[in-house]
């Protein structure tokens, strides 16, 4: 990767990935795009262009004009939001993906797009979910992700596009605020622990989901994109994970730092239904074997870092306001 175009650069992953890529590859070599422009560091620290990914011609033009060799396509509507507006989700998630793949095909670019544990469904084996298994998701987001996995395989097999991807678990970050995902409770809980000392979880007690701290997710993208293509058997939709926990476990981890922290429940049926359709834990052996995937953060290490970074962030916001 020498010159990289990123779509969805102001989203949960993009807002941090762009900054890391600029550190590694040079600010001028990472072209950030999003449907809106803000005054964020992503916009001010290097090249930025507004882009609606459903506009295939503009996407192609930006990639060509900047002579990129890699496209990282992150623009998408997340699980809970997509369920509220499924047709819009299909048009954005699938239309945007096809446009980005077409640009990669026409300009001979390497290509990355993330899939998700949302690609699995109720009939998927729940524990230690295999790399290759039945999927059959029951959400529009999940349907988009399965279709996207297959589409990336197709573009590799049919056109020789160097497509790569991972199935992300729930991602936890102190940088971008929660953005309409089912696993966002695991981000909100840290904010509320610091602000109020209490949290009401919309996910039920005992609901296990795979999670990952954002630094591990960012490193996974870079490691996969830098990996030797001859070693990649699967290429797209690699299972990756760092930890699996339920709400009480994250609360217990927080209490090691904030002993008075309390949590109760007001379960959201819509998001709980989505969570119940996903695996409890997934098997990441293929990613480990084919490109050396390894997560650095477990739950307690993540909690320590999240609380420290969030306290700093929230204090800075108070001073600014």
Q: Catalytic residue numbers? A: 141
Q: Quickly list DSSP for 228-270.
A: -GGG-SS-S-EE--SEEE-HHHHHHHHHTT-TT-EEEE---HH
Instruction: List, in order, residues 6 or more apart from 152 with CB less than 8 Å away.
Output: 101, 111, 113, 163, 164, 165, 235, 236, 237
Grouping H, G, I as helix, E, B as strand and the rest as coil, residue 199 is: strand
Q: Do the beta carbons of residue 97 and residue 161 sit within 8 Å?
A: no
CA distance 62 to 279: 38
CA distance 98 to 252: 43
Helix (H) or strand (E) holding 200: strand 198-201
What are phi and psi for residue 172, nearest 5 degrees?
-115, 130
Rg (CA), the chain: 19
Q: Do the beta carbons of residue 74 and residue 7 sit within 8 Å?
A: yes
The alpha helices in 76-213, defined as continuous H runs, are 79-84, 86-107, 140-159, 185-195
CA distance 288 to 305: 25
């Amino acid at each position: 990767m020498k010159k990289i175009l990123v779509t969805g650069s102001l989203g949960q992953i993009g807002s941090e990935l762009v900054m890391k890529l600029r550190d590694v590859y040079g600010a001028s070599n990472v072209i950030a795009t999003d449907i809106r422009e803000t005054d964020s560091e992503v916009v001010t620290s290097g090249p930025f262009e507004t882009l609606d990914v459903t506009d295939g011609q503009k996407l192609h033009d930006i990639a060509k004009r900047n002579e990129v060799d890699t496209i990282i396509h992150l623009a998408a509507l997340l699980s809970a939001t997509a369920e509220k507006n499924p047709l819009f989700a299909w048009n954005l998630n699938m239309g945007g993906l096809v446009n980005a793949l077409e640009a990669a095909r026409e300009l001979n670019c390497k290509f990355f797009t993330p899939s998700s544990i949302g690609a699995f469904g109720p009939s998927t084996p729940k524990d230690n979910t295999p790399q290759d298994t039945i999927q059959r998701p029951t959400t529009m987001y999940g349907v988009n992700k399965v279709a996207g996995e297959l589409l990336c395989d197709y573009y590799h097999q049919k056109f020789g596009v160097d497509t790569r991807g991972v199935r992300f678990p729930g991602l936890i970050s102190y940088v971008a605020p929660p953005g309409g995902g089912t696993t966002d409770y695991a981000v909100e809980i840290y904010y509320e622990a610091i602000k109020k000392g209490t949290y009401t979880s919309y996910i039920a007690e005992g609901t296990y989901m795979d999670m990952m701290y954002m630094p591990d997710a960012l490193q996974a993208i870079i490691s996969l994109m830098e990996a030797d293509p001859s070693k990649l058997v699967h290429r797209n939709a690699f299972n990756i994970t760092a930890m699996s926990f339920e709400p009480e476990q994250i609360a217990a981890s927080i209490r090691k730092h904030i002993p008075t922290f309390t949590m109760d429940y007001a379960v959201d049926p819509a998001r709980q239904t989505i969570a119940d359709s996903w695996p409890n834990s997934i098997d990441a052996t293929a990613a480990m074997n084919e490109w050396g995937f390894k997560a650095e953060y477990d739950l307690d290490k993540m909690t320590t870092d999240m609380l420290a970074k969030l306290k700093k962030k929230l204090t800075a916001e108070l001073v600014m306001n």
